[in-house]
A and B are shown apart, each in its own frame.
Chain A
Amino acid sequence: MKELRRISILFSLALLLALGLVIPQPVRAQVRWQDLVLTGGLSAEGYRGNLTQVTISAVDSTEGASSVVGELGVRGGLLFFNQPGRSLDLQVDAGLRQFSAWGFKVRDYAPREWVGQADITYRQTLTSLGDLWIQGGFDGRSVNDRPPMPLFIQPGYRTVSGGVGLRLLPMRGAYVDAQLMGEVADYPTTALAPQLNLLNRKALGLETGVTWTGLTWGAERRVRAYLGFGLSGYGNQRTFDPDDPHRRDRTMTVGATWTLRSNYYVELGVEGTVNRSNSSRPEYDALSLRAVASAPLPHDLSLTLFADLTDKRYVTKTDFARLVPGEEADNASVVYLELARPIMVNLDGAVRLGWNRAETDIGDSYFKRYGLSVLLRYRPRER
């Protein structure tokens, strides 16, 4: 009954959003849609791994499993007002994904994921300084019938975040920005994964960056370099130090992103992370490379690639896992390739190939995931 109610809520929300009925009549005239996309898809996935020794609590782990997956999603943005001096917008993203997985030793699994995210942003121009941003957001997901490895599904959580940012007026074509952000995350536990609440945390981050933009008729180029510092507290993780009993991390991040937006879309990013803690186990250094590229092909086809590669090295080697697999892996690689084409004015079709590989911090344990998806994306407000 609970699931049925959730499904009906998701569909009702999508329908109401599509019709613009959730907005009161007097406000509707002022409110403007930025985009509204409904997505439906079907996938076939395979999973391989040698993680059995890690998932001690999940005795049903196996070397290989398969699944078929159905998904529904809705994404949209509402611009309540956008004046030269101020603007207010809400971005919403929600989805449902249902697996039917088999190949495990004891039983088949039918994990179901619910995800939802809402972010509201208010911008106020400070005449002689720049723009001030105030953001608030909610991000939540829940997972039913979470399977053992090698089918890794991110655990459910709820996060509430808020932040304030300032983007200064351009100086010699460069925009300097700085932002302060806080977040509280809560991971509900399950009978099979009582350790999930170890991930509960409170975090505070400060990031400053510089953006250079170059826009011409042919292309829009953007480079952003940034430096961030974050503090995270994990109230449920012990350090075995009576004077400083709970885990506290300090994270330094430095990175840069280059974006080209034209007939081709290219985004290249590099990020280095140094994480230090009062608990020696989660101390690590990491380097991530991210690439997104999209190119036109004949017959209105468009090819898009996403690749995210990370090399993460722990400062101290440990021989046992304390967190869920995948959460603090040594390294991971994610590659997606998608071929998309418009079917109608407001309907796009896509075929997507996916490949993930992630290692844990236990020996040479890893899992791999392969997937083939067929997706339809419908923009009801586009004619």
Chain B
Amino acid sequence: MIILGHPGARARGLAALVRGVSLGVCSVLLLSSLASGQEDPSIQILEPEYQQAQAEYEAAFRALEALEGRLTQALEDVDEARAAGDEARTDQGYDLVLQLSGDLRLQRQRVDEKAEELRDARTSLLQALRRRVDELLADVDSARDDSERSALAAILQDVNNRRLEILAEEDPETVLEPMRDITISPTDLPIDIRRKAATLDYRAEQHEARLEGIDQRLEELGQDLRRSRFVSDFLSGVERYGDTQLPVGRPGSQITPPTDPEQRPPGADSLAVETRPMTLEERIQRLEELRTELEERIQLIRAKAERFRALAGGGGGE
């Protein structure tokens, strides 16, 4: 309003505006410069962080491998118990299988998280190393004498080597390769590779047989769940209109604790308390997850077997 009101005032206003904008831009540049300086942690900090992330990732991955091994063993125990017709041992075996498959699923998530942390730590360290290389290059150029130049060049080479080492490291693995124990060695002949492909087929067939057992279990549990639903439908139907209401107590106000099966008892997800067996719904959910997992494994194993056969020059198994 002042600017529009009077020419002299307009000029003063424009000058003030230019000064204000200039001051603002300078402040922003200064602050961003300071901020970037603060967000530039040194290699001395980032290197231990990277090593820590790497150690944590490797520990998580080793745990994943261990759980995978335990699950495979538990599945084989179930196979044995089923073949022997030992119902009690089969039930116990399935309990362990479901427990381990749940643990395995959680461990995969942990491995994913740790791999992500490792990638972040690696990126930060690489950026810091690259900056250090640039600094050293500049220092080498401005060295006062050959002795200093030589010393800086040695440091530069080592820093660059470290950068190249990290760049050469593979992306952290997050998925276990199926049947890691079956690999092709350089000395394998086509017949050996085809034999290994046949072993893979056999493992896939084992999983397929397990799927049949799981389907049978799911069928049984589904019937139990259906019966449970019949009961809840029946009770809600007869109680809806108060026909079952007895004269004792106050109408419509029975005090009952929440007993919804989906509402887990306390401690169900805490490591600090005793473990409890799974409810019917949880068992069905875990079995369905296990079924999906086994199907995926079968596909991967079959694909691996096909790959082996292709490398062996085609042809079926022995």
Contact = CB atoms under 8 A, between A and B. Distances in A.
Interface of A: 34-35, 37, 39, 41, 71, 73, 75, 77, 79, 82, 84, 87, 89, 91, 93, 95, 97, 113, 115, 121, 123, 125, 127-128, 130-131, 133, 135, 139, 141, 153-154, 157, 159, 161, 163, 165, 167-170, 173, 175, 177, 179, 181, 183, 185, 199, 201, 203, 205, 207, 209, 211, 213-218, 220, 228, 230, 232, 251, 253, 261-265, 271, 273, 284, 286, 288, 292, 294, 296, 302, 304, 306, 308, 310, 312, 326-332, 334, 336, 338, 340, 342, 348, 350, 352, 354, 356, 358, 369, 375, 377
Contacts of A292: 231, 235
A77 B258 CA distance: 13
B267 A130 contact: yes
Contacts of B249: 251, 253, 273
B162 interface: no
A146 B65 CA distance: 70
Interface in B88-139: 91, 94-95
Interface residues of B, number: 54
A261 B238 CA distance: 20
B85 interface: no
Given A125-B266, A209-B257, 7 more contacts: A123-B258, A159-B252, A263-B224, A265-B227, A294-B227, A302-B227, A334-B243
Contacts of A167: 257, 265-266
B237 interface: yes
A263 B266 contact: no
B262 A34 contact: yes
B242 interface: yes
Interface string B223-245: 11011111111111110111111
Contacts of B283: 217
A286 to B, nearest CB: 4
B247 interface: yes
B77 to A, nearest CB: 15
A213 B276 contact: yes
Most buried by A among B250, B273, B274, B276: B250
A82 B263 CA distance: 8
Interface string B247-263: 11111110101101011
Given A215-B276, A336-B234, A375-B237, A310 B94 contact: no
Interface in B65-86: none
Contacts of A253: 249
10 contacts: A113-B241, A139-B252, A175-B265, A183-B250, A265-B228, A288-B248, A304-B234, A312-B248, A329-B247, A350-B230
A106 B228 CA distance: 45
A377 B230 CA distance: 10
Contacts of B269: 84
B277 interface: yes
Contacts of A312: 247-248
A89 B260 contact: yes
A312 B232 CA distance: 27
Given A87-B263, A265-B231, A217 B91 contact: yes
B278 interface: yes
A173 B257 contact: no
Nearest to A373: B237
Contacts of A89: 260, 262-263
Contacts of B233: 37, 39, 340, 348, 350, 377
B79 to A, nearest CB: 17
Nearest to B242: A154
A263 B223 CA distance: 7
A289 to B, nearest CB: 10
A255 B18 CA distance: 84
B280 interface: yes
